[in-house]
Structure 1
Amino acid sequence: MPHLSVIVYGPNAQGRLNELLGSLESHPLAGTEVIVAAVGDWARETAEGHAPETVVVPLPEGTGDAAARAAGAAHASGRWLHFVHAKDGLPAGAPRLIAERIAELEDTGATGTDGAAFDVLLLDHVTTTWRTSAAPSRDGRFLAAVGRDALTLNQGANLLRIAPLLGNRVLRADFWRAHEQLLDTDDEPRAAHAALLHADRVACLNQVAYDNRVLRPESLPPLAPEDRLALIDRYESLLPLARDRRAVHTVLYDLMVRDLVRTFAREDMPDPVAREFFRRASLAAVRWRPEGHQRPPGLEGVRHSLLEEGAYSKYRAFQAANRTRRAARKAVRTRKRQVSAKVRDHQYRRALSRPVDPNLAVFAAYWERGVSCNPAAVAAKLAELAPHIHRVWVVNKENAALLPPGTDHVVPGTRRYWETLATARYLVNNVNFPNAMVKRPDAIHLQTHHGTPLKRMGLDQMEHPAAAKGLDFAALLARIDKWDYSVSANSHSTRMWERAYPARYTSLDYGYPRNDVYYTATAADVRAARERLGIAPGRTAVLYAPTHRDYEAGFTPRLDLAALADRLGENTVLLVRAHYFYGGAASPLTGLRRSGRIIDVSTYDPVEELCLAADALVTDYSSIMFDYANLDRPIVVYADDWETYRTTRGVYFDLMAEHPGQVARTQEELTEVFLSGAWRDESAAKARAAFRRRFCEYDDGRAAERVVRRVFLGEPEEALPPVLPIEERTPAPTPEEATA
Structure 2
Amino acid sequence: MAESGGGRSPLISFIVPVFNVRPYLRQCLDSILADESVPIELIAIDDRSTDGSADILAEYAARDPRVVLLTMERNSGQGPARNHGLAAATGDYVWFVDSDDWLADGIVAAVAARIAHLDPDVVVIDHIRAHWDGAVDRSVNRFAEAPEVFALREWPQAIEILHTPWNKIIRRSVLLATGFEFKTGWYEDVPFTYRVLLAADKITLLDRIGVNYRQRRIGAATRTVGEGHFAIFPNWSEVFDTFDDSRPGAEKLRALLFRRMIWHFLVVRGNDDRLPDELRGRFFDEMTAYYHRYLPAGGYPVPGGMDGVKHRLVAGGRQRTFQALRFGFRRAQEAKATGEVAARAGRRGKRAARLGRAAALRAYYHAELRRPMDPHLALFAAYWYRGHACNPAAIYEKAKELAPGVRGVWVVRRDKVGTLPPGVPYVIAGTRAYFQALARATYLVNNVNWPNYVVKREGSTHVMTHHGTPLKVMGLDQRDYPGGVQDADFAGQMRRADRWDYSITANAFTTQMWERAYPCRYRTLETGYPRNDRLALATPEEVAQVRASLGIEPGQRVVLYAATHREHLPGYHPPFDPERVRAAAGPDAVLLMRSHYFHDRRGAAPDPVDLPGVRDVSGHPSVEDLYLAADVLVTDYSSVMFDYAVLDRPIVIYAPDWEAYRMIRGVYFDVVAEPPGAVAQTLDDLCDVLSTGAFENDAATKARAEFRRRFATLDDGHAAQRVVETVFRG
Q: When the two structures are superposed, what TM-score results if normalisation uses the length of structure 1?
A: 0.50
> Which position in structure 2 is the counterpart of 1:420?
437
Deviation of the 1:356 alpha carbon: 1.1
Tell me how far apart the structure 1 counterparts of residues 544 and 416 of structure 2 sit (CA, whole Å): 28
Deviation of the 1:606 alpha carbon: 1.0
> Which position in structure 1 is the counterpart of 2:46?
none
Over 3 Å counting, the alpha-carbon distance change for 1:389 and 1:564 in structure 2 is same
Letter in 2 for 1:508: L
> Which position in structure 1 is the counterpart of 2:549?
532
Contact 1:491 1:697 in 2 (8 A): no
> Which position in structure 1 is the counterpart of 2:510?
493
Over 3 Å counting, the alpha-carbon distance change for 1:473 and 1:583 in structure 2 is closer
Q: Secondary structure at the match of 1:603?
A: coil
In the alignment, which of 389, 396, 399 is matched to residue 372 of structure 1? 389
Tell me how far apart the structure 1 counterparts of residues 425 and 571 of structure 2 sit (CA, whole Å): 34
Letter in 2 for 1:621: Y
Tell me how far apart the structure 2 counterparts of residues 651 and 692 of structure 1 sit (CA, whole Å): 19
> Which position in structure 2 is the counterpart of 1:320?
none
Contact 1:466 1:550 in 2 (8 A): no
> Which position in structure 2 is the counterpart of 1:392?
409
Tell me how far apart the structure 2 counterparts of residues 620 and 676 of structure 1 sit (CA, whole Å): 20
Deviation of the 1:701 alpha carbon: 0.5
Per-residue CA distance 1:388-443 (angstroms, 9 max, x = gap) = 21111111111122222222111222111111111111000000001111111110
Contact 1:634 1:679 in 2 (8 A): yes
Structure-to-structure mapping, 1:117-156, within 5 angstroms: none
Per-residue CA distance 1:441-489 (angstroms, 9 max, x = gap) = 1100000000001000111112223332243211111111110000011
Contact 1:365 1:431 in 2 (8 A): yes
> Which position in structure 1 is the counterpart of 2:611?
592
Structure-to-structure mapping, 1:349-360, within 5 angstroms: 349-360=366-377
Tell me how far apart the structure 2 counterparts of residues 477 and 491 of structure 1 sit (CA, whole Å): 22
Letter in 2 for 1:532: S
Over 3 Å counting, the alpha-carbon distance change for 1:671 and 1:354 in structure 2 is same
Deviation of the 1:648 alpha carbon: 1.2
Q: Secondary structure at the match of 2:415?
A: coil
> Which position in structure 2 is the counterpart of 1:276?
none
Matched, 1:650 2:669: no
Contact 1:435 1:479 in 2 (8 A): yes
Matched, 1:449 2:466: yes
Give the unaligned 5+ runs of structure 1.
Answer: 1-329, 715-740
> Which position in structure 1 is the counterpart of 2:539?
522
Tell me how far apart the structure 1 counterparts of residues 499 and 691 of structure 2 sit (CA, whole Å): 51
Tell me how far apart the structure 1 counterparts of residues 359 and 650 of structure 2 sit (CA, whole Å): 55
Structure-to-structure mapping, 1:617-656, within 5 angstroms: 617-656=633-672
Deviation of the 1:582 alpha carbon: 7.5
Q: Secondary structure at the match of 1:360?
A: strand
Deviation of the 1:348 alpha carbon: 1.5
Q: Secondary structure at the match of 1:398?
A: helix
Tell me how far apart the structure 2 counterparts of residues 493 and 582 of structure 1 sit (CA, whole Å): 31
Over 3 Å counting, the alpha-carbon distance change for 1:397 and 1:658 in structure 2 is same
> Which position in structure 1 is the counterpart of 2:622?
606
Letter in 2 for 1:592: L
Matched, 1:363 2:376: no
Letter in 2 for 1:567: A
Tell me how far apart the structure 1 counterparts of residues 648 and 396 of structure 2 sit (CA, whole Å): 27
> Which position in structure 2 is the counterpart of 1:572?
589
Q: Secondary structure at the match of 1:384?
A: helix
Structure-to-structure mapping, 1:501-520, within 5 angstroms: 501-520=518-537
Deviation of the 1:353 alpha carbon: 1.2
Deviation of the 1:655 alpha carbon: 0.9
Deviation of the 1:629 alpha carbon: 0.5
Q: Secondary structure at the match of 2:392?
A: helix
Q: When the two structures are superposed, what TM-score results if normalisation uses the length of structure 2?
A: 0.50
> Which position in structure 2 is the counterpart of 1:214?
none
Deviation of the 1:568 alpha carbon: 3.2
Tell me how far apart the structure 1 counterparts of residues 580 and 436 of structure 2 sit (CA, whole Å): 54
In the alignment, which of 434, 438, 456 is matched to residue 439 of structure 1? 456
> Which position in structure 1 is the counterpart of 2:480?
463
Q: Greater relative contact order: 1 or 2 (C-alpha under 8 angstroms, separation 6 or more)?
A: 1
Contact 2:650 2:695 in 1 (8 A): yes
Deviation of the 1:589 alpha carbon: 4.9
Q: Secondary structure at the match of 1:399?
A: helix
Over 3 Å counting, the alpha-carbon distance change for 1:396 and 1:673 in structure 2 is same
Instruction: Please identify, of 350-359 and 554-563, the stretch whose mean Cα deviation from structure 2 is larger.
Output: 554-563
Matched, 1:690 2:706: yes
Deviation of the 1:622 alpha carbon: 0.3
Contact 2:378 2:408 in 1 (8 A): yes
Letter in 2 for 1:677: G
Deviation of the 1:553 alpha carbon: 1.6
Tell me how far apart the structure 2 counterparts of residues 589 and 701 of structure 1 sit (CA, whole Å): 34
Letter in 2 for 1:551: H
Deviation of the 1:346 alpha carbon: 2.4
Tell me how far apart the structure 2 counterparts of residues 583 and 484 of structure 1 sit (CA, whole Å): 42
Tell me how far apart the structure 2 counterparts of residues 417 and 612 of structure 1 sit (CA, whole Å): 35
Contact 1:562 1:588 in 2 (8 A): no
Q: Secondary structure at the match of 2:611?
A: helix
Contact 1:568 1:674 in 2 (8 A): yes
Matched, 1:702 2:718: yes
Tell me how far apart the structure 2 counterparts of residues 633 and 564 of structure 1 sit (CA, whole Å): 19
Per-residue CA distance 1:47-69 (angstroms, 9 max, x = gap) = xxxxxxxxxxxxxxxxxxxxxxx
Per-residue CA distance 1:112-139 (angstroms, 9 max, x = gap) = xxxxxxxxxxxxxxxxxxxxxxxxxxxx
Deviation of the 1:600 alpha carbon: 0.9
Deviation of the 1:591 alpha carbon: 5.2
Tell me how far apart the structure 2 counterparts of residues 408 and 591 of structure 1 sit (CA, whole Å): 38
Over 3 Å counting, the alpha-carbon distance change for 1:707 and 1:589 in structure 2 is closer
> Which position in structure 1 is the counterpart of 2:256?
none
Structure-to-structure mapping, 1:238-277, within 5 angstroms: none
Over 3 Å counting, the alpha-carbon distance change for 1:429 and 1:591 in structure 2 is closer
Identity of aligned residues (%): 52
Per-residue CA distance 1:204-243 (angstroms, 9 max, x = gap) = xxxxxxxxxxxxxxxxxxxxxxxxxxxxxxxxxxxxxxxx
Over 3 Å counting, the alpha-carbon distance change for 1:668 and 1:338 in structure 2 is closer
Tell me how far apart the structure 1 counterparts of residues 426 and 482 of structure 2 sit (CA, whole Å): 36
Q: How many residues align?
A: 381
Over 3 Å counting, the alpha-carbon distance change for 1:563 and 1:683 in structure 2 is same
Deviation of the 1:563 alpha carbon: 1.9
Tell me how far apart the structure 2 counterparts of residues 368 and 454 of structure 1 sit (CA, whole Å): 24
Q: Secondary structure at the match of 2:541?
A: helix
Tell me how far apart the structure 2 counterparts of residues 492 and 637 of structure 1 sit (CA, whole Å): 20
Letter in 2 for 1:617: L
Per-residue CA distance 1:693-740 (angstroms, 9 max, x = gap) = 0011311110000000110011xxxxxxxxxxxxxxxxxxxxxxxxxx
Per-residue CA distance 1:589-628 (angstroms, 9 max, x = gap) = 55534xxx11111111210110011001000000000010
Tell me how far apart the structure 2 counterparts of residues 341 and 533 of structure 1 sit (CA, whole Å): 42
Contact 1:361 1:427 in 2 (8 A): yes
Tell me how far apart the structure 1 counterparts of residues 669 and 521 of structure 2 sit (CA, whole Å): 26
> Which position in structure 1 is the counterpart of 2:684?
668
Contact 1:453 1:493 in 2 (8 A): yes
Letter in 2 for 1:620: D
Letter in 1 for 2:680: A
Over 3 Å counting, the alpha-carbon distance change for 1:589 and 1:441 in structure 2 is closer
Over 3 Å counting, the alpha-carbon distance change for 1:342 and 1:677 in structure 2 is closer
Contact 1:544 1:575 in 2 (8 A): yes
> Which position in structure 1 is the counterpart of 2:38?
none
